[in-house]
Amino acid sequence: MQISRVFAALAVCAGLGACGDTVGQQAVVGAGGGLVGAALVNGNPIVGAALGTAANIAYCQQYPSKCPAVY
C-alpha cells in the first residue's frame, strides 16, 4: 500500500512537471507538485510545497531548455 502511494506521488509530480516563464510561475507550479506529492504519501503539505518550490525553481533555472511552458 505504501509503495503504491509513493509511485502515485511520483506520477503526479512528473505530470505536473512544468517550469513556467517566470520565477513566480516556477514557484507556484513547484509548490503545487510538492503539495500534492506530500498529500499522497501522508507527508507534511507545507514541507512538500516548500521542497517542490525550491526543486522546481532550481531545475528550471539550471535547465531552461528542458522545461515545458505553462499555458
Kindly state the cell numbers that stand for 40.
499522497
Q: Using N-to-C axis directions, what is the helix angle for 23-40 and 2-15, rounded to 10°?
A: 160
Distance, in Å, from the CA atom of 58 to the CA atom of 47, rounded to the nearest integer, reads 16
When pLDDT is cut at 50, 70 and 90, the band that residue 65 belongs to is confident
Residue count of the chain: 71
Q: How far is CA 61 from CA 5, 6, 71, in A?
A: 29, 26, 18
- Stronger pLDDT, 47 or 20, i.e. the higher one: 47
Nearest to 48 by CA among 9, 14, 22: 9
The chain-wide mean pLDDT, for the chain, equals: 79
Work out the average pLDDT over 44-54. Answer: 91
For a pLDDT cut of 90, what percent of the chain falls above it?
Answer: 18
The pTM of this model reads 0.71
Q: Identify the pLDDT of residue 16.
A: 54
